[in-house]
Amino acid sequence: MVDLDLLAYLEGFVSEERKARFKEVLSTRTNFITVVTEDVFQAHNTSAVIRSCDVFGIQSAHLIEARFGKRLDKNIAMGAEQWVDVHSYKNASDCLKHLRSKGYEIVATTPEDGVESLEDFAIKKPIALCFGTEKEGLSSTILDQSDLKLKIPMVGFTQSLNISVSAAIILQKLTQELRNSDQHWELTETEKLMKRFDWTMKSINHLDDILARYHKDAKI
C-alpha cells in the first residue's frame, strides 16, 4: 500500500505541471496488453521496443535474456525505462509461467503463413505480445506454447520487419482499438496511485536525504 502522507510530502518537491502530467499519462496507461522480447541481440532494438511501450501507453514489458544478457540501452530508450515496468527473465518458460499466472493470453508474432492477420485480430482478453530475436524469431518454446500466432500483413518482396518496427505497428493499432472498446483496460486506482508514488520518487533529486528528513520529522 502507498503511504499517502509520504506521497503528499514528496509531491511538494515536484512541480504542479509534472504532477498533472503524471495523472494525464496514467489515465491512458494499460496492463491489458503487455510486451515480451526474447533474446534480442541488438541493444537498440530492445530499447526502441521499451520506448514504443511508453509512447503507446503499455505499462509493463518482459525481457527474456537467456542468450545475450541485458540488452537495454538507456540512450535509445530515452528515459522510457523510468516510466515502463521492465521485468527480466533468464528463460522463456519462467516468463510464460508468470504471464499465465496473471491471466494473459500468449500471442506470438511471426511472419509465417497460415496465422491470424493483424487486420483481423480483435482483443478479447489480456494479451502478452511476444517478439523474437532479429534473425530466428521466437523460440519453439514460445511458439509451441502460444495461444495464438499473429502476423503483420505485407505485400512487398521483403516479408519481414525490424522487431522494433513490428512492435510499434502492432502496438499502435491494438492500443487504439483497445481504448475504443468496452474492455476495462485502464489501470486500477491502486495501480495508478502506486505509479504516481514511483514516478514522483524518480523525479526528485537527493531523494535519500529527503526521505531521511521525512522519517526524522515523523518521529518527533
CA-to-CA distance for 112 and 83, rounded, in angstroms?
A: 33
CA-to-CA distance for 132 and 143, rounded, in angstroms?
A: 10
More confident residue, 76 or 134: 134
CA-to-CA distance for 27 and 140, rounded, in angstroms?
A: 37
Positive or negative torsion for Cα 164, 129, 81, 26: positive
Architecture, CATH, for domain 31-185: 3-Layer(aba) Sandwich (3.40)
Q: What is the mean pLDDT of residues 142-166?
A: 90
CA-to-CA distance for 92 and 98, rounded, in angstroms?
A: 10
Please state which of the ranges 6-10, 148-152, 161-165 shows the lowest mean pLDDT. 161-165
| Each residue's pLDDT tens digit, 103-141 | 999 999 998 888 999 999 999 999 999 998 867 789 999
Given a cut of 90, is residue 170 above it in pLDDT?
Answer: yes
Cell of 130: 511476444
| Each residue's pLDDT tens digit, 195-212 | 999 999 999 999 999 999
Q: Where are the domains of the chain?
A: 1-27+187-220, 31-185
Cβ atoms of residues 40 and 163 within 8 Å = yes
pLDDT band at 76 (very low <50, low <70, confident <90, very high): very low
Start-end of H helices in the chain: 4-11, 16-26, 43-55, 74-77, 80-83, 92-101, 140-145, 163-179, 189-202, 207-219
Q: How far is CA 184 from CA 10, 36, 98, in A?
A: 30, 22, 21
CA-to-CA distance for 53 and 57, rounded, in angstroms?
A: 6
Given a cut of 70, is residue 65 above it in pLDDT?
Answer: yes
Other C-beta atoms closer than 10 Å to the C-beta of 209 total 10
Q: What are the φ/ψ torsions at residue 212 (nearest 5 degrees)?
A: -65, -40
CA-to-CA distance for 39 and 19, rounded, in angstroms?
A: 36
